[in-house]
Structure 1
Amino acid sequence: MGAPGTGILHPGLILLLLLGLGMQAQAMSTVTAMVGETVTLSCEADTKGGLSLVSWRMKFNESDIEQLISFSAADNMVIIKEIPGYADRINITKEFSLIISNVGIQDEKIFYCFTLVGINIVETPVSLKVYKIPSNPVIVEPAAFLKEGEQQQVGVCVVSSSYPVADVTWHHEPLDRDSSALVTEYEVTTDEKGYYTTRSTLRYSSKRENRKVSFYCKATYFEGQDKQVSKDSLPVTLFVHYKTSKVSLLVNPAQDIEEGTNVTLLCAGDGYPPPDKFIFSKNGVDKSRNTNQYELTDVTQEDTGEYTCSQQDNPDIKDAVNITVHYLTLTMNPNGDISKMVGENLTMECIPESSGTVDVTLTKRNKVYPNPFMVDSLQYMHSGTYTCLAKIKEVKEMKREKTVIVRVEGMPRINKLTKKVVDNVKVISCVVEGFPKPIVQWSINGTSPRDEPVKDKRSQWNHRITVKPSENITVTCTAINPHGQDQDTVNLTAMRFEEPLDASLEQDPLDSNKKSDSSKGNDQAKVIVGVIVGLLIAAVIAGVVYWLYKKKSPTSKTKTNERGTADEIKKINKGDNNHTSGSSAV
């Protein structure tokens, strides 16, 4: 194939083309190309058997067909016609296909391939379709929000630089695409290059139930002859604004409101955006405006009443609640710690005041007493801390508590003064009662031994001393407090003598164990041994006396003298024995 050239086709060829001798038409084929690509248009004519000429022409309009390029087999030469916009972009291959580079939308035309083989002319039409991928769809001019019941512009979907015109559709959730509330408007324009820009405007009439709606648009276009492609825009979410139709008044705490607590009233409307300006009132009197919250601090029973909140823009929309401030006060009569003397009377009472039903209990050391509690003659056992507890049934955990300390006072009294022998010593115990606590003083024949406090029991106190008397003594226990004194005495024998029984004193009241019994047994054994030793000594003395007497008397005596001497000895022995027994006490 020769080098391309320029000029006009051979005159004979033109004549043949004009005459159209033996012209045959082939079916039209379609080729698709994207803007900027290089496309090849194939010539389907039979080129065997004496090809003379190949010519590519282009249909500019319905009546004008312009030759672009031709090939003469006789000259082996390609001739390109100087047509603006094509001369430098077209060429022909050895298979006689037409090549067009840098395809643009202006190339979307019908091209014809004419071949002359012998005397037969074959026409092969090829339709070139050009497409341009558009920009991504974008929603511009979006609405800030939607108003209930008003048809508003949601936004404008823009798809630019497309060829051919892109199809734009709107999609949204949770609405139906065919909803009658939707209205779309389209506007298509072209730029200087012939590309299309599509603007689709969506209008929508929202409802309260929508709350919020998400919109996006989709651009659908062609890529190739039979290939459809789409692109989605970023979504736009719009909230539906609607007026308040209902107001709710919330109270925190919702119940069991007691004096001294803080109460918060919160008003809310069902509109969107949520309203924040309300009027709070109590029993019809305004308390607060321009807020959605009202605080009651350190409430009292005077805060009880009906509270109302209403929308400031529409006072007819309101809600009301009744607030009851529960109170509970408790006093005790007598009110405060008291002191009473033994034998006096006392009336104690718990007095509650409340907004509901009250349960009252009076206790001392977990023992329940009647309310009021009356005593005709106070004793020391009535001393102690009395507690009143009041609970209101209508309010959980609401209670009050008061305490009164009762002190029963009296002069000292010695309840017991006892003695016993323990481990070869004598223990004296003095049990005293009285209040204030008596001071206990001991005295032994005018001296003061060391006191050994043992045990306290309520209003009684136990004191003791330990002595080991070598002679008979008198022990005195004296108890003293601001109301007077009491005194008692006990006589003790020396440790070598047994204590005589005394019906007025308690013998060995503190110990009844085996150790005490053992001590008592040891004392009895000592007495028995002493008696035996005394009898032996008396017998020895009697024998000595009798021997002395016999030594001084004549050898031969009458029976009468002998008998008299025997009686005298018996009297002496008897007298000695009685003396010895009298001096053997421990």
Structure 2
Amino acid sequence: MFMKLRLSSSIPTIVGLYGETIEVPCNGGAVQSDDLIFTKWKYTKKDGTAGDLLVKQAHKDEATIQATDSFKNRVSISANFSLLIAHGTLADQTVFTCMLVWESNVKEYPVKVVVHKRPSPLLIKDKAKQLENGKLTTLGECIASEANPAATLTWKKNGDTLKNDDTAIKIISQVTKDPGTGLSTTSSLLQYTAVKGDVGSKFTCRATHETGDQESAAEIFTIHYPTEIVTLQVLNKGAIKEGDDVTLRCHADGNPPPTSFTFFLKEGKIPVNDNDTIVLPSVTRDSSGQYRCSLLEDEKKQGLQEIVVNYLDLSLSPSGMVLKNVGDTLVVDVQKNTSGDAQVSWTKNNGKLDKLPDFGELTYAHAGLYVLEVSVAGIKRSESFKLDVQGKPKINYLTEQLSADGKTKVLSCQAEGSPEPSVQWSINGTNERSTPHSNGMVTHTITVEPRKNLTVMCTVSNSLGDDSRAIVVASVIVESVPEGERSNGNDQAKLIVGIVVGLILAAAIVGLIYWLYMKNSRQGSWKTREKEMGTSEEEKKLEENNHKADV
């Protein structure tokens, strides 16, 4: 198969692939077929002489094979006069000549053939099981076999090319040729001095070739190196508190990793074989302190860890049920002992308090469940007391209110006291209701329909005493008037009221006139100092006026 045309001096060169059909063009594929008599292909033998391959007459469909050697069964000619060589080998690397014969002219076109062979997939053999820190070790040998021309091999670490320095890196490469096929095999031996930083590094071998490059699969080698650093780890998550089991792990950075260690505890030195952990059961505050560990065979390399065991002691006085009277005092004492700064909070009846109330003089409002909560580094403690404030019942007010329809009255009696006072009325009513007992307060209401003025008494009592209060409730008069007579009855009532008011005003006027008259008469006699008795004619007129006034 035709691969590539090259110009080398005056003779063009093509590249064919090993094992495939090589196509050799005649005059680069530009053949003048008019008046062409025949086409002949020949080649140059190793001794420099010419050898015939085939002849194709212009008037015939088939070519005549003239070759008698290895080309005999492998050569043919295409429709465009190219020579076809099946199953190309390295022996086909020579000069092939196309001769064109016309009636009046003959021309020859030589072409040089080069055969390439892609190397087989790369192979790394004799790989090291592990690399020793600081020791020159044979990492492996890379093989690129059966190629033409021979492949060039390079080693890479994490993508970077390794170069031979004859100390930490040594690369030995060689090429061998198969005498039968003529194909070349390239090998490259890598000796490498590993360091601790090479852990996880990827080593590859790369083949560079005319037919294209290829790279081997990455190899990762185990690297052995001694321990340099020892660390002690606490495996517990979060803060450590009293009662916890604490797990300690000793870790060394050597490879292979050490498996036996010495732990230095408060109880003393404890060796542990084939294990890197130890458990401290149920630690206490006295367990706080410094802990160490080392390699079993080398106590100079140690890891250190400081352990803090958190604790919290809490007491509250008073606690439980606390019974007090109204006006008493209450002293609350909190004692706490913690390993660090503690968070303190109070709640009353599940509601958060900014601070504890002043219990200097207790009221009913102080009653409730008080809970103290203290926390530090994952530890939480709580204490509580329930305060009950008692007192003799006392009525705060007793009121009446006319209902919206004007037919009934609602009586309300509010009292305070604890235990919750019971409420009793001196009369029966309806719609009796009572509010919940809160902060020592309770309000009881009833609905009554008084037909006359009543004195109603409210009495409250509990185990500590009682209290009473009375109220005068005015009657509520409701007249039943037929629906059809309501308008007439209202008009008649207005008329009667008008007449009565008129008579009252008339009498008041007459009386006022008489009074003024008598006053003036007396003042006149006092002023003139006349005798108290008038003439007979004046007395007569006075009697007549008196008579008219009486009428």
* TM-score (norm. length: structure 1): 0.54
Highest CA radius of gyration, 1 or 2? 1
Aligned length: 412
Of the three residues 121, 136, 140, the one matched with 1:155 is: 140
Aligned to 1:460: 441
Shift of 1:234: 0.9
Residues 171, 436 of structure 1: CA spacing in aligned structure 2 closer, same or farther, 3 A cutoff?
A: closer
| 1:333 partnered with 2:333 | no
Kindly provide the amino acid, as one letter, of the partner of residue 334 in structure 1. P
Contact 2:234 2:248 (C-alpha < 8 Å) held by counterparts: yes
Kindly provide the amino acid, as one letter, of the partner of residue 460 in structure 1. M
Kindly provide the amino acid, as one letter, of the partner of residue 413 in structure 1. P
Contact 2:430 2:448 (C-alpha < 8 Å) held by counterparts: no
Shift of 1:105: 7.2
Of the three residues 455, 463, 466, the one matched with 1:482 is: 463
Aligned to 1:243: 226
Q: Matches of 2:342 and 2:335 in 1, distance apart?
A: 10
Q: Matches of 1:137 and 1:362 in 2, distance apart?
A: 77
Contact 1:409 1:434 (C-alpha < 8 Å) held by counterparts: yes
Q: Matches of 1:352 and 1:443 in 2, distance apart?
A: 56
What RMSD, in angstroms, separates the aligned Cα atoms of the two structures? 5.5
Shift of 1:325: 2.2
Q: Matches of 2:474 and 2:94 in 1, distance apart?
A: 155
Contact 1:137 1:231 (C-alpha < 8 Å) held by counterparts: no
SS at match of 1:238: coil
SS at match of 1:415: strand
Q: Matches of 1:231 and 1:462 in 2, distance apart?
A: 100
Q: Matches of 1:357 and 1:452 in 2, distance apart?
A: 56
| 1:347 partnered with 2:319 | no
Q: Matches of 1:426 and 1:39 in 2, distance apart?
A: 125
After TM superposition, list the pairs within 5 Å mapping 1:81-120 onto structure 2.
Answer: none
1:163-189 Cα deviation digits (max 9, x unpaired): 676655444444541334222345666
Q: Matches of 2:422 and 2:214 in 1, distance apart?
A: 104
| 1:405 partnered with 2:386 | yes
Q: Matches of 2:463 and 2:161 in 1, distance apart?
A: 97
Residues 367, 86 of structure 1: CA spacing in aligned structure 2 closer, same or farther, 3 A cutoff?
A: closer
Shift of 1:407: 0.4
| 1:434 partnered with 2:432 | no
Of the three residues 305, 308, 326, the one matched with 2:289 is: 305
Q: Matches of 2:23 and 2:346 in 1, distance apart?
A: 109
SS at match of 2:197: helix
Residues 146, 467 of structure 1: CA spacing in aligned structure 2 closer, same or farther, 3 A cutoff?
A: same
Contact 1:420 1:428 (C-alpha < 8 Å) held by counterparts: yes
SS at match of 1:346: coil
SS at match of 2:319: coil
Shift of 1:243: 2.9
Kindly provide the amino acid, as one letter, of the partner of residue 393 in structure 2. R
Shift of 1:236: 3.5
After TM superposition, list the pairs within 5 Å mapping 1:261-410 onto structure 2.
Answer: 265=248, 268-272=251-255, 282-283=265-266, 284-286=268-270, 290-291=274-275, 301=285, 303-311=287-295, 314-342=298-326, 344-358=328-342, 360=344, 364=348, 366=353, 368-369=355-356, 375=360, 378-390=362-374, 392=376, 395=377, 400-410=381-391
Kindly provide the amino acid, as one letter, of the partner of residue 320 in structure 2. G
Residues 188, 491 of structure 1: CA spacing in aligned structure 2 closer, same or farther, 3 A cutoff?
A: closer
Contact 2:141 2:189 (C-alpha < 8 Å) held by counterparts: yes
* TM-score (norm. length: structure 2): 0.56
Shift of 1:156: 1.4
Aligned to 1:96: none
| 1:201 partnered with 2:186 | no
| 1:234 partnered with 2:234 | no
Q: Matches of 2:45 and 2:471 in 1, distance apart?
A: 161
Contact 2:323 2:388 (C-alpha < 8 Å) held by counterparts: yes
Q: Matches of 1:218 and 1:414 in 2, distance apart?
A: 104
Q: Matches of 1:355 and 1:236 in 2, distance apart?
A: 55
Shift of 1:406: 0.2
Kindly provide the amino acid, as one letter, of the partner of residue 301 in structure 2. I
SS at match of 2:221: strand
Kindly provide the amino acid, as one letter, of the partner of residue 495 in structure 1. S
Q: Matches of 1:303 and 1:253 in 2, distance apart?
A: 15
Aligned to 2:165: 179
Residues 421, 148 of structure 1: CA spacing in aligned structure 2 closer, same or farther, 3 A cutoff?
A: closer
Q: Matches of 1:202 and 1:465 in 2, distance apart?
A: 108
Contact 1:38 1:103 (C-alpha < 8 Å) held by counterparts: yes
Q: Matches of 2:296 and 2:374 in 1, distance apart?
A: 44
Aligned to 1:495: 475
Kindly provide the amino acid, as one letter, of the partner of residue 307 in structure 1. Y
Kindly provide the amino acid, as one letter, of the partner of residue 216 in structure 2. L
Residues 342, 451 of structure 1: CA spacing in aligned structure 2 closer, same or farther, 3 A cutoff?
A: farther
Residues 216, 230 of structure 1: CA spacing in aligned structure 2 closer, same or farther, 3 A cutoff?
A: farther
Shift of 1:481: 2.4
Q: Matches of 1:427 and 1:298 in 2, distance apart?
A: 69
Contact 1:340 1:406 (C-alpha < 8 Å) held by counterparts: yes
Q: Matches of 1:317 and 1:31 in 2, distance apart?
A: 71
Residues 105, 435 of structure 1: CA spacing in aligned structure 2 closer, same or farther, 3 A cutoff?
A: closer
Contact 1:214 1:235 (C-alpha < 8 Å) held by counterparts: no
Structure 1 unmatched ranges of 5 or more = 1-28, 41-55, 60-64, 71-79, 92-99, 111-126, 222-227, 498-528, 540-558, 571-586
1:432-472 Cα deviation digits (max 9, x unpaired): 2222212222224xxx5558345455102222444444456
SS at match of 2:220: strand
Shift of 1:347: 2.4
SS at match of 2:355: strand
1:387-446 Cα deviation digits (max 9, x unpaired): 324355xx4x86544332100123x423345354634655544332222212222224xx
Of the three residues 391, 395, 411, the one matched with 1:415 is: 395
Q: Matches of 1:245 and 1:191 in 2, distance apart?
A: 51
Q: Matches of 1:90 and 1:414 in 2, distance apart?
A: 130
Structure 2 unmatched ranges of 5 or more = 1-10, 25-43, 53-65, 76-84, 96-111, 478-496, 508-538
Q: Matches of 1:467 and 1:39 in 2, distance apart?
A: 127
Q: Matches of 2:198 and 2:310 in 1, distance apart?
A: 45
Kindly provide the amino acid, as one letter, of the partner of residue 346 in structure 1. L
Contact 1:419 1:426 (C-alpha < 8 Å) held by counterparts: no
Contact 1:280 1:289 (C-alpha < 8 Å) held by counterparts: no
Kindly provide the amino acid, as one letter, of the partner of residue 348 in structure 1. V
Q: Matches of 1:237 and 1:329 in 2, distance apart?
A: 60
After TM superposition, list the pairs within 5 Å mapping 1:2-151 onto structure 2.
Answer: 134-151=119-136
Q: Matches of 2:418 and 2:238 in 1, distance apart?
A: 50
